[in-house]
Structure 1
Amino acid sequence: MIKIPETLVEQMIRQANEELPNECCGILAGKAAEGIIEIVEIYPMTNIDHSPEHFSLDPKEQLEVYKSVRERGLKVLGNYHSHPATPSRPSREDIRLAFDPAAVYMILSLMTNPPVLKAFHIENGDYREIPMQVI
């Protein structure tokens, strides 16, 4: 189960709309214990691909975010990105590039209004949705 504050979801939606037509992306940070993943902070990142179909995090920004997360006593739990015109599920490219089966991959689809946010674990070329509660 993932818990994420509504304010962070709203922040993701704003970022995704501002970066249209391209995908937006960012890092998820928080705490995980006893099957509960709590997203405490999101870190919007630059999509260096500038593409509506895929994203790559800026490596310099990523290093700074990882330092900041550690300093705050949090953990990097995964990443998020938007799908401007496709559903909120991992694309073939998302699955191909997923390298950490423990990571949370959140995908925000702007295909509908309101946007749809879902979370996944991706492992061995397959994915499963993680239940999520917006608090």
Structure 2
Amino acid sequence: MASLTDMDARLFAAAEAIRQKAYAPYSNFAVGAAILADDGQIYAGCNIENAAYPQGNCAETSAIAAMIAGGARRIARIYVTGPGAMPVTPCGGCRQRIREFADPETVIISHGVEGDPLALSLGELLPHSFGPDFLTPRAS
């Protein structure tokens, strides 16, 4: 595991603060995510469930939306936190969403608050990923 930094502590605090605001009445599994973006700002999001289950948002998706709304476009680092002892890693869909705005070397820290954090690169969580760099730019 990569060593945690002072920035990681700030990201953890932001992820935990927003996790307390999660709307998770069905799963009772509140998750928070905090992104350090390319503009140096921290953007946070929590999971938002819906009675029509597939219509909810994961915390990572909410944090990415906040980042885009804030004007940033690249993820420099992301911290995901949730309940329990096991690291709360992004789901497959969120791994792909993160890939849209991050490089395979980008560090994702996953944390179950009763256990130890796990720091892995996006490439380790999503090997052989498909990203925007695979697409050929369209001619104008």
Relative to the length of structure 2, the TM-score reads 0.50
Which structure has greater helix proportion?
Answer: 2
Offset at 1:78? 3.1
- In structure 2, runs of 5+ residues without a counterpart are 128-140
Deviation string 1:66-120 (CA, Å, 9 cap, x unpaired) is x2x58xxxx630322223236116366378535231222121213x1xx533321
**Would the alpha carbon gap of residues 3 and 57 (structure 1) be closer, same or farther in structure 2, given more than 3 Å must change?**
same
- % identical equivalent positions: 15
**Would the alpha carbon gap of residues 118 and 30 (structure 1) be closer, same or farther in structure 2, given more than 3 Å must change?**
farther
- In structure 1, runs of 5+ residues without a counterpart are 32-39, 127-135
Partner SS state of residue 90, structure 1: coil
Aligned to 1:93: 92
Aligned to 2:5: 3
Larger radius of gyration: 2
Which structure has greater strand proportion?
Answer: 1
CA RMSD of aligned residues (A): 4.0
Structure with bigger RCO (C-alpha 8 Å, 6+ apart): 1
Number of aligned residue pairs: give it: 109
Aligned to 2:138: none
**Would the alpha carbon gap of residues 89 and 96 (structure 1) be closer, same or farther in structure 2, given more than 3 Å must change?**
same
**Would the alpha carbon gap of residues 106 and 23 (structure 1) be closer, same or farther in structure 2, given more than 3 Å must change?**
same
